[in-house]
Amino acid sequence: MPEEFPPSLDETLVRRLVEAALDEDAARHDVTTAALVPPDQRGQGVITAKARGVVAGLPVAAAVFHALDSTVAFEGQVAEEARVSPGQHIARVEGMLRPILAGERVALNFVQRLSGIATATASLVDALGGLSTRLLDTRKTTPGLRALERYAVRVGGGHSHRFHLADGILIKDNHLAAARARGLSLTEVVRQARLGAPHTLRVEVEVTSLDEAQEALAAGADIVLMDNMDVEKMRRVVEMARGRALTEASGGITLENVRAVAETGVDFVSVGAITHSAPALDMSLELS
C-alpha cells in the first residue's frame, strides 16, 4: 500500500509534528543504536498488531522514518481504515537500521495513538448503524495534536465538531453564568451573540433542562446542545426543535447507551472520550 498523505491530512503539519516528536526523543542522538549498529548495516522490520482495531496514521509513521533517512522504504500492508486482528502485519520498513531503530518508538507512538482513536470511534459508529445520527468529536484533544487526532476520528467513521474557538458560537454553562451575573436572560445572550459574530456562524446553545431548551429555541438558536439529559427529555427536546433547530446530545454517552440516545432522533452525538480517553492500539515493530 502506498503511504501518500490523504487530502484530509496536512502534510506540512505532519512533518512539523514529526520533527518535534523526534527532537523530544533525541532520535538523532540515539547513543544505544550508535554504539551497537554499524552505520552501513541494513535490515527490515514489520509492524504487527497485537490487538483488534482500526488502523490510522500510517502516513505519519512513514514520515517519521523518512525524516531520519529519506532512503528508508515504508510500505503499508493494510490501508488506513483497515480493521485488523492480533498478529496481523500492518506495515513493513526496510533500509539502514540506524534510522529504523531510532525512529521506532516515535512511529509506533503515533500509529498506536491514532489507531486507538479510530478504533474507539468505529465502535460507536458501528453502534449507530442504520440511524441518521452523526458521531462528533470535541475539543478535548491532546494539545498540539488536535489535527491528527481528529483525522483519526474521521478514519474511524466519525465527524468533527468545531475545530477551534473561532469556528462557531457555542454558548455553554459558564457563558450563561457570566451573563446572568450581569442580569441577562438566555434570550438576550443569544441575541448578543448574533450581533457580535459573523452571520455565517451558527449559534449553538447548551441546555440542561426542558425550560432552557424552550428558551433557546424561542431565542432562535440554530443548534440545541443537550448536556447530560436523560433519554426521555432528549426525545421531548427533539420534538420541540423539529423544523426549528438541529439537536446535539453530549455528556455521559457510552458504547452501551449511544444507540438509545440516537434513537431519540437527535442529529448529533458528541463524545469527548474518543479523543481524550481512547486506549492506544497495541503494536510492535520487530526486525526480521
Active site residues: 105, 140, 172, 206, 227
Phi first, then psi, for residue 42 (nearest 5°) are -105, 165
Ramachandran area for residue 220 (φ above 0: left; ψ -120 to 50: alpha; else beta): left
Beta bridge partners of 45: 93, 287
Q: Is 79 left (phi over 0), alpha (psi -120 to 50) or beta?
A: beta
**Alpha-carbon span 91 to 114, nearest angstrom:** 15
Exposed, middle or buried, 119 (CB in 10 Å: 0-12/13-18/19+)? buried
Question: Look-up: residue for cell 456562524?
Answer: 201
Of 211, 253, 206, nearest to 231 by C-alpha is 253
Pairing of strands 42-49, 283-287: antiparallel
Q: Would you say how long the chain is, in residues? A: 288
Q: Would you call 114 exposed, middle or buried from its count of C-beta atoms within 10 A (0-12, 13-18, 19+)? A: buried
d(CA 258, CA 99): 44
Return d(Cα 235, Cα 226) in angstroms, integer. Answer: 10
